[in-house]
Amino acid sequence: MIAPPLLRARNLGRHYAAARERAAILSHLNLELAAGEIVAVVGRSGSGKTTLLNLIGAMDRPDSGHLEFEGEDMSGWNDAARTAFRRARLGFVFQAFNLLPTLTVRENIALPLELNGLPQAARVAELLNALSITALADRFPDQISGGEQQRTAIARAIAHRPRLIIADEPTGNLDRDTGREVIALFERCVRAAGATLLMATHSDEMLGHADRVLELRNGALSARP
């Protein structure tokens, strides 16, 4: 029996106002994500990659079409349901890291566990070790390097064992060598957790770790050979 997709998008549309007209960012976009796969989305700047991630992450609403997560139609969710979905079932990794500057590395990683009422100490220690940042646990983000900040951000994203991780140019602010190291750690952690990863990237290194590569062009997705 074939397992149903973790996420299904059907005919998604998103528009913006331009010179008294509505211009399409996304149009009739379709996507299915299976549990446990890593999918990369590529496309030129302005093609709508971040818009797509924001829709799937329930941070914005589509103008048309439908989104389903584990068979549940997301269009009927109110703001509280969307917040609960992001908090419990999603993990986010951003290009700019987005760590809370007043929290230590340890506290940043523990935050999603705390918000979900989950035990913290053992899981945080496990992730600190897995991402080789145990020695940095009591430092603040401005006291560690960019690569170390991104490792912390990855640990935070997967701490509560989300079903889906969304990453927007996760190595965009890292040099090539640091980016390569972070990518390998990221893939290892995602695979070990059995999570699905959807990432927008320009990095050829990251594309090499994806199970599928999709190109976003003219508002729609297509498989890239």
Q: Would the pLDDT of 23 be above 80?
A: no
Q: Would the pLDDT of 18 be above 70?
A: no
Burial class (CB in 10 A: 0-12, 13-18, 19+), 82: middle
* Residues 6 or more apart whose Cβ sits within 8 Å of residue 190: 38, 158, 165, 197
Bigger pLDDT: 175 vs 55: 55
Which residue's structure tokens are 């064992």?
Answer: 161
End-to-end CA distance of the chain: 28
pLDDT per position as a tens digit, 115-128: 999 999 999 999 99
Domain positions in the chain are: 7-223
Query: Which of 7-11, 26-30, 44-48 bottoms out in mean pLDDT, i.e. has the lowest?
Result: 44-48
Return the percentage of the chain with pLDDT > 70, whole number. 96
Helix, strand, coil percent content, the chain, rounded in steps of 5? 35, 30, 35
| Band of residue 75 on the pLDDT scale cut at 50, 70, 90 | confident
pLDDT per position as a tens digit, 163-196: 999 999 888 888 888 888 888 888 888 888 889 9
What's the CATH superfamily of 7-223? P-loop containing nucleotide triphosphate hydrolases (3.40.50.300)
Q: Tell me, what's the pLDDT at 167? A: 94
Mean predicted confidence (pLDDT) in 94-115: 96
pTM value is 0.91
Dist. CA 52–CA 60, nearest whole Å: 9
Residue 15, token pair as written in the block: 């528009």
Dist. CA 199–CA 221, nearest whole Å: 14
Q: Tell me, what's the pLDDT at 17? A: 67
